Every structure is written in structure tokens, then in C-alpha cells.
Amino acid sequence: MLPLKIGDLEVPMPVIQAGMGVQVAKAELAAAVAKAGGIGCISSVGLGSREASENDYLADSHEHLVKEIRSAKTLAPGGIIGMNVMVALSNYDDVIKTCVEEKVDVIVSGAGLPLTLPGLAKGSNIKLIPVVSSGRAMKIILRSWHRRYQYMPDAVIIEGPLCGGHMAFTENQVLHPELAPIQNILNDVRAELAPFEAEYGKKVPLLGAENVVTADDVLEKLNMGFDGVHVGTRFICTEEAGIDIKSKEIYVNAKNEDIIVLHSPIGLPVKVLRTPLVEKLLNNEKIPFGCPFRCLRACEAKAAKFCIADALLDTLAGDTEKGLYMVGSGIGRVNDIIPAEEFFEPLKKLV
């Protein structure tokens, strides 16, 4: 197993930990991963409290971002720290600006096409890593970045239909992942990259994101032709993940049969565990909510049956009745809460 090279950045373990909102992935988790030799990522979404966000969402979000980045760097001196910034955020530009000011090492950006990212991060040495789920999305990003900024992605994360989070797949593909195998997506993305790699004289590392729970899963992705992996679900059940222990226990006890595909308020399919909140939504109940801070640009708040930010803040607090448990298909194999470092132990013997 080789270290992952992203431009001049050498990552001892070819693993990026997914920046997971709301407060699953904060400084503590990112620092633990960075100390173990991977890239630790903070998710920029929902870092503030409900009350403070209602008063001044932009200012509160900025303040927490700065605090988390500085705290991660202090906890993991010399480690590689990144930020996950969803394109769907209403304060996207502001968050990227803060990442530049605070000098994070990498920015991972998905949940939409990050077409303006190189412009916003211009002048920095931050590695820019878009997330895609198809050759088509890759092509749009490559053409746009080339035309507007003469810039190539520093690495690319490829999500397959078994991954967690908001997904750029149809519900049918999520329910039948064999319709969109990640190996095919990898081949399509490679084909789109090839002419740009030739023109820029630069090879772009590709990271596979779905269903990586064990060291063997990492090796499987490397054998498929990926240069590394992007891991979410396994890191939810770590000591350093930011959510309440009651919520971690829901994840640890979950089986794959408990996974339901919901349509999130931003119009994308998302895998979640069957919990009391989800039962209500499946029964077509609407959970009343206000929308004081419009965190997601694409949120169809008027038509939505629930507020995803509210529900994820309840997950954070360990309210298992009201909480929403977003998940990837690997959850059935996650049966314990471990220190994040433990994920890397078997990998250390392979480098």
C-alpha cells in the first residue's frame, strides 16, 4: 500500500475521513484521523447551536468554523486537516473564504457541482477535491474549471450507490446498486480525466467512497484501481465522533434491513435508519418547523415534511425519537464504537 500523493501533499495512509454533518465530524474526529496518518475532515454544516444560529446564522457559523479548524490543528500538529463544504449550503462562499483564511490543507466539495471553487480558493495552496458520482458530473466540472480558471482538481472523490449522505443517484439506483457499480463510474471518470491529465501533465488521484468499513475494504478499493478511499459510516461509530452516545448506539445496533431511502428536503435521495421520526414521515405526517436560518440553498422548505437541520441537531443531542440517522450501506458491519485510530492499525502493517 502506497502513501497517497495529492500534489505536494503526502498522506501516509490513503484515507480521507468524510466530513459528516451535523457535528459528527468536528475537530476531535478530524484530529484523530490526521494523527493516524489520514486526512481528517470537519463538516462545515450545522456547527453552531440552534439558538445562536437563529440569531445570526452567518456570524455563528463563521465563529464555529474558525474554532473547529484551529482546534483540529492544535490537537494534531503537522496532521492534514480538511473541510467538507457542501455546494448546497446557503453560506458556501463565506465558508470557503474562511477555509482560505484559516489555511486548511484540503477542501472536499460535493452535494452539487462546485463550479466556482477554484475562483473562491484562488491564491491559496489548498488542495481542491470535488465529489462526483458519474463521468458526466466530472466532465462538467473539468470543462468549467478549465475554461474559467485553467485549473484541474487536485484529487477526485467518487461516490458509489452504497455510500451514505445525500446521493446523486436515482432512487432506483440506490435500491439496486448493481445498476451503477462504482467500478463503472471509476472507468467513466478516468475517461473524462484522461485528455485533461495529458494537457496539464498531471495525474489526478481518485478516491473511492462507499462501504469501506475494514482494512480489507480499503485494499479492495485499491485493487479496483482507486488511489485511496473516503470513509464515512465507519467513523460515525468512533469515540471521537461528535454525536451523543445514545445516537452512536442506534448506529451500532442497526442492521442493513433497517435502511430506508428517503427524499431529503433538498430533493435528493438519502439513506436513513428506520426510527420513530422516519416512521412518521413514511406515514405521510408533516413535522412542523420554522426555517429561521435557511442553511441549505436548495431546500424546498415550504414543501418539506420536516427540517433536516432540526432532525440532525436532535441526533446530535441523542434524541432517538426525533433524530434522523443518515447512513451508508456498510452499517450492518459496524458493530462497535472504536477509537478512530483503531481503523488504521491493520493498515499500518501494509505501508
10-14 — which CB contacts under 8 Å span 24+ positions?
11/37, 11/38, 11/39, 11/80, 11/228, 12/37, 12/38, 12/351, 13/37, 13/38, 13/344, 13/347, 13/348, 13/351, 14/38, 14/207, 14/218, 14/222, 14/227, 14/228, 14/229
Report the residue number, 231 or 281, with the smaller CB distance to ligand FMN: 231
Residue 114 or 196: the one with the smaller Cβ distance to ligand FMN is 114
Query: Judged by CB under 6 A, does residue 38 bind ligand FMN?
Result: no
Is 314 a binder of ligand FMN (CB under 6 A)? no
* C-beta closer to ligand FMN: residue 45 or 340: 45
Q: Whose Cβ is closer to ligand FMN: residue 84's or residue 281's? A: 84
Half-sphere exposure of 350 (CA within 13 A, CB side): 15
- Least CB distance to ligand FMN at residue 110 (A): 4
Cα distance between residue 168 and residue 311, in whole Å:
21
**Cβ at position 31, least distance to ligand FMN in Å:** 18
Q: With contact defined as beta carbons under 8 Å apart, do 163 and 209 qualify?
A: yes
Q: In the complex, what is the shortest distance from the CB of residue 199 to ligand FMN, in angstroms, rounded to a whole number?
A: 28
Residue closer to ligand FMN (CB basis): 196 or 210: 210
**Binding ligand FMN by CB under 6 A: which of 6, 20, 241, 281?**
20
Question: Alpha-carbon distance 268 to 164, whole Å?
Answer: 12
Q: Which of 13, 15, 21, 311 binds ligand FMN (CB under 6 A)?
A: 21
Rounded CA gap, 53 and 65, in Å?
13
Q: Does 110 bind ligand FMN (CB under 6 A)?
A: yes
Report the C-alpha gap between 109 and 85 in whole angstroms: 5
230 binds ligand FMN (CB under 6 A): yes
Instruction: Pick between residue 196 and residue 308 the one whose CB is nearest to ligand FMN.
Output: 308
Q: Please, what is the minimum distance in Å from the beta carbon of residue 198 to ligand FMN?
A: 28
Backbone torsions φ then ψ of 215, nearest 5 degrees: -60, -35
Interface region with ligand FMN, contact rule CB under 6 A, candidates 59-67, 74-82, 134-142, 162-170: 162-170
Q: Is 231 in the site for ligand FMN (CB under 6 A)?
A: yes
**Interaction between residue 238 and ligand FMN (CB under 6 A):** no
Q: Which three cell numbers stand for residue 125?
A: 495552496
Residues contributing to the site for ligand FMN (CB under 6 A): 18-21, 24, 43, 45, 84, 86, 110-111, 159, 163-165, 209-212, 230-233, 236, 326-328, 330
